[in-house]
Structure 1
Amino acid sequence: MSATEAPAVQDGSAGADGTDGTGVPAFAVRAALARPPVRFLLSSWPLRCWAHLAGGALLGAAALLTLVVLAFTGGVLAVVGVGLLLLACTALLGIPVAAVERRRLRLVEPTALTSPHRPPPRAGAWRRLRHRWTERATWREFDYLILLGVVFAAAGLAVLALLALSCAYVVSPLIVWALAPETVMLIPGHAVPGPPAAVPFSVAGVAGLVLSAYAAGWLTLAQVRTAWFLLSPREDRMREHAIELTRSRARLADAFAAERRRIERDLHDGAQQQLVALTMTLGLAEVELRDSDPEAAALVARGREEARRALEQLRDLVRGIHPQVLTDHGLAAAVAEVALRTPVPVAVDIRLPRRLPAPVETTAYFAVLEGLANAARHSGASHVGVTGRFEGGRLVLLVEDDGRGGVDPARGTGLSGLADRLAVLDGRLVVESPAGGPTRLRMEVPCSA
């Protein structure tokens, strides 16, 4: 079995590429927050968000403390030169913190963040350090360290404090009962005489737990989005370049198709009409010379036959450049017409809900044409089947024959060119051809290309 696939350019949307329509990933925690409240509160998401905030608070506090110590020590020792090195190393502190954070985010986000750093040079510690200092990703990670240690750690501790207070209020009737007859003050200046008086605090604790769960979810979402923005690789330029390449490729394909139609029109309206007129003129000359000069009439008749054959060849050429039936009646009718001219019996089953864009129909037509030509010339098949369906926004065509198989795209059977033709519209070709057959060509063309 062998396979040839046309290269594809991927680009991004909310259902197709995992984004929310603005290029930002559709994070799992955001989908969890969009659930009905009961489903969210009874799921594992509140626990995961609280655990994430607790870990972030510890990591941020430790990283910020380390940063302060390094900066203070570096400032003190700057007069002897060693401090300058310590101050320079503070900028690199964000690298290990970001590495830990990418792993820690797997608690709430199944899609792992990859490192944005390029591999450093192998020779010399100084060159490796300088490489890291000059990377923009290093400074983005340092910015994230500051945000994590100052903003997210403080906000996370506030949410966790609300969680602890809410848990204490929920079990406050049990606390009052266990400490009786001691006086319990659940809020400053307000003594609770007995367990029944603590029930309102228990209700408030339940409300606090709900508030804490949603606060933890939204704070976690903010932290995940910030991490995605600062800690993930920046592919903006590559994505813009890929989009521009796709657009320029589509423009070239449209220009090529327009040029083919122009050549077809010129041949049809020019050379073909001249050959028709020449054939008619030679026919009239043959009639005039038939009685007076039979030998000259025979020469004219032979010239007329050659002109007729040239006209047939020109018609075949025009039909191969851009068949009129494809323009007038669509892909199914055009493929059915080709099947009638193929020396091997061909069964055509193409069912499409509507006419497809002209570039897609043209590309698909010539792809099927190439597949049928390969089957007729090389496979030794006695039957060929062509099926076509519209699946998920893509035109899927199958060309199957019962030949000897063993097709190798590298042997120049035209499959490489066929894959290149499909690649123009971001399509692909998959070839399955085990030795002994059968051969199966699967061609896919995005109809949005």
Structure 2
Amino acid sequence: MTARLLTSTRPWRATAYLLTGWLVATVWATAVTALVLMPALALAIPLAGIPLAAVERWRQRLIDPVPLPSGHQRLVRPGLWGWLATRFREGATWRELGYAVLFTLVLAWLDAAVGLLVGSALFLVVFPALVHFLPAYQPEPLLGFVPARLPDAFLATAIGLAALPVIGYAVTAYATVRARWTRALLLGRPRRAPSAQLVELTRSRARIMSAMDAQRRRIERDLHDGAQQRLTGLIMTLGMARLQLAGAPPAGRDLVETAYEQARATLTELRDLVHGIHPQVLTDRGLAPAVTEIAERCPVPVELRIDLPERPPEPVEAAAWFILNEALTNIARHSGASRARIELVRRGGLLVIDVHDDGVGGADAARGTGLLGLADRVAVHTGRIALSSPPGGPTVLRVELPCAS
């Protein structure tokens, strides 16, 4: 194991990890000093740990194969003020500031001292070359007993080669421990793993939601293939009866006419009901055409931006369609908006849904506007939902659904 370590690039990556820390610390200390000297920017000092932590997560890749994730939350409100409000409230910002101070004052310089051990061993290895190529370089006997002349200077090379494996192993071990410290300091206390009961509850809820979706699709097919067809046949029969009763008494013609109009109205309502359960276009053509259809039916003008290189899994499509349908219904009924915008994009393993409107705002799940149902839908798919709806608007809804194929 030791031989495999010494023949790999890990000791050199560990050395690079340790020796680059002082440069990061110096740049950060200079930047913070500049902020202190400019009172107008003093409020930015608590946020100064954020860029240093980002650099540390990048440097961590040199020694830690497991990526170090950011501890920050996703933004609820867009824009600079939304970013500042979120960052000042979360614990990750203050952990990163504390780490930045500790790193700059202590850890970076301790790292550099340990990393220089490798440099010392390399200096011993190349000592004879220095003596040969720099004739003016005639130091006192190295280490007190290695003469600065050839061939005696090769004793330093032997000492350096013997010390290099020991130093490389020690430096790598220290760098590994330091990387773990960084992970612990930046991420804080790890979250407890969910209990088996909670996992089973989540799976049970997902199964129930899948069963409900399947039942809705079955009802949609039954209504489409059964009740709608029979109702359409009834309307055709009543239409022909109207023609046959052209010379009948007015009372009879009025009754047939009333039945004909009521049947047509019932068919329209039934079609709307079927469409609200699970539209056929979603099954046949996918999410983008289905969303386009509900946007066209919305009484509020809707601007669409859809970027879906491939269809998401069927359960995710159904959840996304339900969320967008409910969101547009809320906009039409409660927002007082004059326009809305939907962005539906695939970003890696996430389906990201953004819904904006310029309405009066003040959307609240406690007021029964369908937001709890949306949250339940998102939770089933272990997604995320964020809502910003201050009084006076605008309202911004963001949903992220995992959709790894």
TM-score (norm 2): 0.60
What residue identity is the alignment partner of 1:426? T
| 1:408/1:254 CA distance change after superposition, 3 Å | closer
Shift of 1:416: 1.9
Q: CA-to-partner distance for each residue in 1:139-191, whole Å, 9 max, x for gaps?
A: xxxxxxxxxxxxxxxxxxxxxxxx9xx79987999896787xxxx8xxxxxxx
| Partner Cα distance (1:393, 1:194) in 2 | 62
Match of residue 205, structure 1, among 148, 151, 159? 159
Which structure 1 segments of 5+ residues have no match?
Answer: 1-30, 48-107, 112-162, 185-191
Amino acid at match of 2:338: S
Residue 102 of structure 1 aligns with which residue? none
- What's the counterpart of residue 301 of structure 1? 257
Q: Distance in 1 between matches of 2:191 and 2:397?
A: 38
Q: 1:348 aligns with which of 298, 304, 320?
A: 304
The amino acid across from 1:44 in the alignment is L
8 Å contact from structure 1 (residues 428, 445) kept in 2: yes
Q: For the structure 1 residues 315 and 46, does the alpha-carbon distance in structure 2 shift closer, same or farther, using more than 3 Å as the test?
A: closer
1:403 deviates by 1.4
Highest Rg: 1 or 2?
1
- What amino acid sits opposite 2:280 in the alignment? Q
Structure 1 residues 445 and 234 mapped into 2: Cα distance closer, same or farther (>3 Å)?
Answer: closer
Pick the aligned partner of 2:230 from 269, 274, 286.
274
The offset of 1:204, in angstroms, is 2.4
Residue 291 of structure 1 aligns to a residue whose secondary structure is coil
After superposition, the C-alpha distances for 1:76-113 in whole angstroms (9 at most, x for unaligned) are: xxxxxxxxxxxxxxxxxxxxxxxxxxxxxxxx9998xx
Indicate conservation of the 8 Å contact 2:384/2:399, yes or no.
yes
Matches within 5 A, 1:281-300: 281-300=237-256
Instruction: Identify the match of residue 373 of structure 1 among 306, 320, 329.
Output: 329
Contact 1:431–1:441 (Cα < 8 Å) also in 2: yes
Indicate which of 342, 346, 360 corresponds to 1:386.
Answer: 342
For 1:254, the aligned partner's letter is S
SS in 1 for 2:355: strand
Gaps of 5+ in 2: 22-62, 69-117, 132-138, 184-188
The sequence identity of aligned pairs, in percent, is: 45
Asked if structure 2 preserves the Cα contact closer than 8 Å seen for 1:336 and 1:348, the reply is yes
Equivalent pair of 1:351/1:388 in contact (CA under 8 Å): yes
Provide the residue aligned with 1:316 in structure 2.
272
1:201 maps to a residue whose letter is L
CA contact under 8 A between 1:253 and 1:359: conserved in structure 2? Answer: no
3-state SS of the aligned residue for 1:349?
A: strand
Q: Which residue of 1 aligns with 2:18?
A: 44
- Residue 211 of structure 2 is matched in structure 1 by 255
Q: Deviations over 1:353-385 (max 9, x none)?
A: 111111111111111111111111112111111
Task: Tell me the equivalent position of 2:283.
Answer: 327
State yes or no: 1:406 paired with 2:362. Answer: yes
| Residue in structure 2 matching 1:440, options 378, 396, 403 | 396
Q: RMSD value over aligned CA atoms?
A: 4.2
Shift of 1:324: 1.0
- Runs of 4 or more above 6 Å deviation: 31-34, 108-111, 166-179, 192-195, 221-228
How many aligned positions are there? 293
Contact 1:33 1:217 in 2 (8 A): no
